[in-house]
Amino acid sequence: MRWLLPFLFLALPAWGESVVLGLSQDEIAITTSFNGSEILVFGAVKREEPLPDGPELEVIVTVSGPSEPVTVRRKDKRLGIWVNTDAVEVDHAPSFYAVATSGLLRDVLRDTEDLRYRISVPRAIRSVGAPMSIADASKFTDALIRIRTEAEQYQLQENHVVVDEQTLFRGRIKLPAALNEGAYVTRIFLTRSGNVVADYETTIDVRKVGLERWLFSLSREQPFLYGLMSLAIAIMAGWGASAAFSLLRN
């Protein structure tokens, strides 16, 4: 069997490529006027040897927000009333997840590589341990993806990454206004013929600042005081609206 070893090494890809990455910003501040943001992901491919002959280089960019368990419920109409009937807990669901590619995802990534690196939106979500009484548990995950896709929290942006001369690449990821705090993991994958030949990972820090940060901390650390303040503001707003309406009538 030893005589086979040289041939096995020859069969392995020897691209010798790595990622040199840049980000337009590595910190995002959420304020009271925050209405979304956009991240420019750009970089280059570092090579120890000249560009090899063979399949074209493709690039995949993913940005993943903090993950948390999510309970997905199904409603059915019973006696004219919509009620919750079944529920499945999705164990691992990113609060935000975006995939941007230089081509169609099915063309630039093999399914086995997707399974290995969990790149596509469905693979980034993990749901196990559904009740045995629920035969269509996968539909709950599909529903979660559909709802968050409509809210732009889950995105698939095909042909949104530009690759120049198989060396330079750039792409944009749009972030919605409803962002959770935390570390947003950004991954870059270089692929050839659907196989991952190199990958790189970094993080973007998303934090609330100013009044938004103070209100968030108050609601978590002193909920009773936060409730009293909210009640007082509501009363003052109601009184102000009533007074303004009375002046307009007069």
Identify the band that residue 70 occupies on the pLDDT scale cut at 50, 70 and 90: confident
Q: How far apart are CA 126 and CA 237, in angstroms?
A: 44
pLDDT over threshold 70, residue 154: yes
Token pair 């990972």 is found at 201
Residue 249 pLDDT: 67
Q: Which of 135-139, 163-167, 191-195, 230-234 has the lowest mean pLDDT?
A: 230-234
The structural architecture, per CATH, of the domain 15-208 is: Sandwich (2.60)
Number of H helices, E strands in the chain: 7, 12
Question: Degrees (nearest 5) of the Cα angle 78, 83, 88?
Answer: 125
Q: How far apart are CA 1 and CA 148, in angstroms?
A: 52
Instruction: Note whether 19 and 45 are within 8 A (CB).
Output: yes
Q: To the nearest whole number, what is the mean pLDDT of the chain?
A: 79
For 98-127, what is the mean pLDDT?
Answer: 94
Question: Smallest Cα–Cα separation from 93: which of 118, 67, 73?
Answer: 67
Amino acid at 177: A
Q: How far apart are CA 104 and CA 113, in angstroms?
A: 15
For 25-32, what is the mean pLDDT?
Answer: 66
DSSP 9-73: HHHS----EEEEEEES-SEEEE-TT---EEEEEEEEEEESSPPPSSSPEEEEEEEE--EEEEEEE
Residue 170 pLDDT: 92
For 10-39, what is the mean pLDDT?
Answer: 68
pLDDT > 90 in the chain, percent: 34
Question: Degrees (nearest 5) of the Cα angle 9, 14, 20?
Answer: 145
Residue 1 pLDDT: 41
Residue 10 pLDDT: 38
Residue 236 pLDDT: 72
Residue 181 structure tokens:
């705090």
Residue 6 pLDDT: 41
For 206-234, what is the mean pLDDT?
Answer: 60
Residue 24 pLDDT: 74
Question: Degrees (nearest 5) of the Cα angle 207, 209, 215?
Answer: 105
Instruction: Note whether 175 and 96 are within 8 A (CB).
Output: yes
> What distance, in Å, lies between the first and last C-alpha atoms of the chain?
100
For 97-111, what is the mean pLDDT?
Answer: 96
**In the chain, what are the domain boundaries?**
15-208, 209-250
User: Higher model confidence: residue 92 or residue 79?
Assistant: 92
Residue 8 pLDDT: 36
DSSP bridge partners of 44 = 20, 168
Within 80-154, residue ranges assigned H as helices are: 105-108, 111-117, 121-124, 138-150
Q: How far apart are CA 131 and CA 129, in angstroms?
A: 6
Identify the band that residue 137 occupies on the pLDDT scale cut at 50, 70 and 90: confident
For 131-139, what is the mean pLDDT?
Answer: 69
